[in-house]
Structure 1
Amino acid sequence: MTTPAREPDQHPPGEKPERSFEDVMWGRVERRRERIRAQVRTARAGDHKVPTWVLATVLALFLLGWLYLIFFG
């Protein structure tokens, strides 16, 4: 019985190919890019729980209170 010929980049069943450092790093980069794309899609959809103006107002009040404590506290 003969063994079927394999392509050079194919591996027998049950044997995992070794991944190089570059392959691992490239996979991480691709996953990170996909997460960023998903976050951008979500942000563009506008499904925010708190409006931006509310966050900006809270930040401004926090900074003003901090400055008040520094100069008059």
Structure 2
Amino acid sequence: MSSETPETETAAERRPDEREQAGRSGLLSSLDPMAAYERRTTRIREEIARNRRGEYTVPTWVLSLALAGVLGIWILVLFVL
């Protein structure tokens, strides 16, 4: 399912433009609370859109913690109970 549509453009592809704009406007724009709010909401919307398309990933530490828990319970059942 790798159909390319304009909506599937990733944030990484748009970042160079954002960096150029931030560089042009200087330090004051990085401290502008409205600009920070807009960047944050844009990132959140992009992440939600990626997750809805099925592009989400589970962090490695969560997977390793789940594996350790399953193994711990398995050992507890086999050797203790």
TM-score range, shorter chain: 0.3 to 0.5
- Which one has a larger percent helix, Structure 1 or Structure 2? 2
Q: TM-score normalised to the size of structure 1?
A: 0.33
Indicate the structure whose relative CO is greater, using CA pairs within 8 Å and at least 6 residues apart: 2
Structure showing greater radius of gyration is: 1
Return the TM-score normalized by structure 2: 0.31
